[in-house]
Structure 1
Amino acid sequence: MWPPVWGGDVLLVPLYCAALLVTVCTVRHLLRQRRPRGFPPGPTGLPLIGNILSLNSTEQPHVYMTRLSHSHGEIFSLDLGGISTVVLNGYDAVKECLVRQSDVFADRPSLPLFLKMTKMGGLLNAKYGRCWTEHRKLAVSCFRNFGYGQKSFESKILEESFFFLDAVDTYKGKAFDPKHPITIAVSNISNLILFGERFRYDDNEFLHMIEIFSENIELATSAWVFLYNAFPLIGFLPFGKHQQLFKNADEVYNFLLRLIERFSENRKPHSPRHFIDAYLDEMEKNAADPNSTLSTENLIFSVGELIIAGTETTTNVLRWAILFMALYPNIQGQVQKEIDSVVGPNRIPSLEDRPAMPYTEAVLHEILRFCNIAPLGIFHATSRDTVVRGYSIPAGTTVITNLYSVHFDQKYWTNPEIFYPERFLDSGGQFIKKEAFVPFSLGRRHCLGEQLARMELFLFFTTLLRRFHLHFPHGAVPNLKPKLGMTLQPYPYLICAEKR
């Protein structure tokens, strides 16, 4: 018999149970928002949602976090809806954690978004353990064996650069948006490693997939996604930007499966032609191991992650590079003068020319520093309890590395808000490395494609400026504010490329 508080009305029972459940969940969530003892300080957040809205205000998250570091210190905390998060700002703090405690800060947080998208498998979002070790080792081996480790790979990049230049030349000096040809050109370098083939510039199906990847990069930083991580039950709502992200992911995964099936046809075991073959070889070799993490599903995740990591970042660096060369014609002229002097009129640039082209190297490095393509990288997590600068950080804590703050750290950079390539040159005009230059991050999770990206940037940039003079259409004023997402890309702009 029900207690008298229900007045015998059994229909009220579900309502009271629901109210009790909501109350329990709310109290539990509020308790999660309490900072652990010894945890880094941080700004006060709102009940339930914490500091989520602050990250989606008019101020960009990386800029907001850098500003907070001035009042809360280089290491502070944020409450992302009950998810206690530590933010690392400035070079010293980032190095202290990612290098000196590399194992501790090499994990990934088990956020609902990561669980939904890749089940914490694959490569980039894999937990720090066997899955990450197996996939990272295989990826590094394939990048070396099918990519930059091959003597002929430089010529393949140059061949793609010619396809790119020919695509640019079709506009005959008239204004065009360079995003499309750059995206396909850059992606094709990764495609050679992953699939053993390049895609045509008019392959609309592949371009559509790349555009979906790019859209998801933007959606991943929306308030809806932060709310989904804090309250996964909103995943049942039929609306919201997180639903578009999930829909896009399903479409991409189906397309990737078709690509994998297509490029694994006629495979000869133990004679891999590309990453797909090498992965399938490893799957077969470990088939009897019940603990192996190699699977068709993780292959799909890995291919997708490598495509987006190899395309989105380098594409946006080159888009910023073109924009800044048109914005600063004097800098463009100095780069072209150096190219002409070193390369001459009768041959094309090569990687061997890099040491003789310090100003060009300085310009590329300043673009990487100033534009901060991946300002917050991918979220890290602590693999075990640790102490940093007297703060106690429990295992499983989400960690954000603010690389933007590193590249604008006034301790290491003079007038960092100014675009100034000469900061990478010594008094004699020779290129110098800078310790606090970390566009590819640091530690165990640093970008495995760094060497490949550097090759692409130098060869695409120099071959483009060797052939064309870049300028904006008459009267055009570009928007220099970056378009926010997990990566910072320029808003669409038009450029004129006239043959020199």
Structure 2
Amino acid sequence: MALTAIYDILDLKGLLLLVVVFLVVADYLKHRNPPNYPPSPFSLPLLGNIFNIDSKSPHIYLTKLGHAYNNIFSLRFGRDRVVCITGYKMIKEALVTQAQNFVDRPYSPLQDRVCSGNAGIFFSNGEMWKKQRRFTLSTLRNFGLGKKTMEVAICEECSFLLDEMDRQKGAALNPTILLNNAVSNIICQMVFGQRFDYTDHRFKIMLKYIAKSIQLEGSIWAQLYEAFPAIMKHLPGPHNEIFSNYKLLCDFIREAVDKHKADLNPSEPRDYIDSFLIEAMGKPHDSTDGFDEQNLVMCVLDLFLAGTETTSTTLCWGLIYLITNPDVQEKVHEEIDRVIGHTRLPSVADRANMPYTDAVIHEIQRLGDIVPLNGLRKADKDTNLGNCLIPKGTALLPILHSVLFDESEWETPYKFNPGHFLDKEGKFVRREAFMPFSAGKRVCLGEQLARMELFLFLVSLIRKFRFTTVEGEKLNFDGVVGLTRTPHPFKIHATVR
């Protein structure tokens, strides 16, 4: 009996070993790289490289890998393979020179759970993406994008923001919440047809959901869900908060859509939602065009998220860099006083006469590194890139951090230096390696609006206040990395000049 038990145990161990060997060999055969595929670091069977990446600073880790692999390498996350590219020249080649080959997004299990199918603006592909992007740009222009009316709306919101800060009477404050409210109100006016008061409790909750979801989507939990969706959807963990938050955000948007439908006047659209509903009713559309209410909710969600988080985060980094570089803040004060003075509000037209301030804003965007990883792309066909073959359907990840800190493009990449955007005569200089809005066909849809907001908000703030740190508190430059890179919570003093 004892010998039989021993044989049974040995047989069981042998069977388990055989199964493990079979799985490893099968995994290798299934996922082995094709000829001339970008090189990769060692990856674990079945798991790949998912636990190799530094979850706190993935952009820095991936940029270092780019240095080791001549700016193009591959990683594996569970069943999925991703080609990463770094450096200005390589990313320009992919996103600009070969833009048509890398315009679509790959399948995302996480996004598919939020809204299944080809939906929204950011994640949609093909004709739907083209039509929705074209419609959105046209509609936003109709409601002021790039026009004087939008400038007036931003300046009015600046007044609300300045009044709120002024009420603090120089006491320590966390500017993040106020800046989120102010910036979000600009896109809200275009999309929802209204601004929200800074004391509106529900609106503040929605902004918290946005911030938390964006942080979680860039975390290891989201990466695990993307790599192993069949397992992760049944497990507890912070990744489930992404879906609950987005459900609440979508419910908020659906309520707004229902209100718009109740008093819609087809001859007088008030905002993006009205325009979308009128477009859906007025013309026959294919189902693949996306002019239905479900897709309206996803498009509004994309605009709501994109129009809030990145610009407000840039302004937060701007205050941090100005406080820690008081000489720069003082020079901006001097230029504002000389060009604008104290008797009128700033105007977008002033930017041409304020090269130093313009350079400072650009340097804030560069060093702030707001979207360090960019969005995934997908190869439309077999493509040669950097002497490597990118097979059709392969996901491509451009590391924007590596462009904004490319040592061959920037004189002092790790130092706050407005001189990066100034010539010897002090005139503003555009730099090709300045890509905070990405590049190519998927360049940020709201770039024009963001540029206007950054100039008007920041100049209005610096014109009225002098910003200083709280005594004994040291500002943190590391940032918290999710889909965006946000500052750690901080407090400052805003003293009227």
TM range (shorter): over 0.9
Q: Matches of residues 446-465 of structure 1 in structure 2 within 5 Å?
A: 446-465=443-462
Number of residue-to-residue matches in the alignment: 481
1:166 pairs with 2:163? yes
1:225 pairs with 2:238? no
Query: Which shifted more, 241-250 or 131-140?
Result: 241-250
1:65 pairs with 2:62? yes
Q: What TM-score results when the alignment is normalised by the length of structure 1?
A: 0.92
Q: Distance between the aligned counterparts of 1:360 and 1:285, measured in 2?
A: 46
Q: Distance between the aligned counterparts of 2:493 and 2:125, measured in 1?
A: 46
Q: Distance between the aligned counterparts of 1:189 and 1:391, measured in 2?
A: 44
Q: Distance between the aligned counterparts of 1:27 and 1:128, measured in 2?
A: 35
Q: Are the aligned partners of 2:224 and 2:232 in contact in 1 as well (CA < 8 Å)?
A: no
Match of 1:319 among 308, 316, 319: 316
Corresponding residue SS for 1:152: helix
The structure-2 alpha-carbon separation of the partners of 1:495 and 1:55, relative to structure 1 and needing over 3 Å to count, comes to: same
Identity of aligned residues (%): 40
Match of 2:41 among 40, 43, 58: 43
After superposition, what is the alpha-carbon deviation per residue over 1:264-310, rounded to whole angstroms, capped at 9, x for unaligned?
Answer: 43111243211001111121234463443221111111101111101
Q: Distance between the aligned counterparts of 1:80 and 1:422, measured in 2?
A: 40
Q: Distance between the aligned counterparts of 1:236 and 1:466, measured in 2?
A: 50
Q: CA offset at residue 53 of structure 1? A: 1.0
RMSD, matched Cα: 2.0
After superposition, what is the alpha-carbon deviation per residue over 1:21-75, rounded to whole angstroms, capped at 9, x for unaligned?
Answer: 99998776554432222211111111111111122445x1110011011111111
Match of 1:345 among 329, 342, 346: 342
Q: Which amino acid aligns with 2:445?
A: L
In structure 2, the partner of 1:485 is 482
Q: Are the aligned partners of 1:32 and 1:82 in contact in 2 as well (CA < 8 Å)?
A: no
Q: CA offset at residue 237 of structure 1? A: 2.2
Q: Distance between the aligned counterparts of 1:191 and 1:212, measured in 2?
A: 16
After superposition, what is the alpha-carbon deviation per residue over 1:338-383, rounded to whole angstroms, capped at 9, x for unaligned?
Answer: 0000001211111110011000000000011111100111111112
In structure 1, the partner of 2:246 is 249
Q: Distance between the aligned counterparts of 1:20 and 1:121, measured in 2?
A: 42
Q: CA offset at residue 82 of structure 1? A: 2.3
1:374 pairs with 2:389? no
Q: Distance between the aligned counterparts of 1:285 and 1:386, measured in 2?
A: 41
Q: Are the aligned partners of 1:35 and 1:84 in contact in 2 as well (CA < 8 Å)?
A: no
Q: Distance between the aligned counterparts of 2:63 and 2:152, measured in 1?
A: 42
Q: What TM-score results when the alignment is normalised by the length of structure 2?
A: 0.93
In structure 2, the partner of 1:392 is 389
Q: Distance between the aligned counterparts of 2:480 and 2:206, measured in 1?
A: 20
In structure 1, the partner of 2:431 is 434
Q: Distance between the aligned counterparts of 2:109 and 2:155, measured in 1?
A: 42
The structure-2 alpha-carbon separation of the partners of 1:391 and 1:358, relative to structure 1 and needing over 3 Å to count, comes to: same
Match of 1:274 among 264, 271, 274: 271
In structure 2, the partner of 1:12 is none
Q: Matches of residues 175-254 of structure 1 in structure 2 within 5 Å?
A: 175-254=172-251
Corresponding residue SS for 1:478: coil
In structure 1, stretches of 5+ residues that fail to align are 1-18
The structure-2 alpha-carbon separation of the partners of 1:162 and 1:24, relative to structure 1 and needing over 3 Å to count, comes to: farther
In structure 2, the partner of 1:53 is 51
Q: Are the aligned partners of 2:132 and 2:289 in contact in 1 as well (CA < 8 Å)?
A: no
After superposition, what is the alpha-carbon deviation per residue over 1:224-252, rounded to whole angstroms, capped at 9, x for unaligned?
Answer: 22122121112342402221111111121
1:147 pairs with 2:125? no
The structure-2 alpha-carbon separation of the partners of 1:28 and 1:218, relative to structure 1 and needing over 3 Å to count, comes to: farther
Q: Are the aligned partners of 1:84 and 1:397 in contact in 2 as well (CA < 8 Å)?
A: yes
Q: Are the aligned partners of 1:358 and 1:430 in contact in 2 as well (CA < 8 Å)?
A: yes
Q: Distance between the aligned counterparts of 1:23 and 1:210, measured in 2?
A: 49
Q: Distance between the aligned counterparts of 1:175 and 1:490, measured in 2?
A: 17
Q: Distance between the aligned counterparts of 1:369 and 1:143, measured in 2?
A: 26
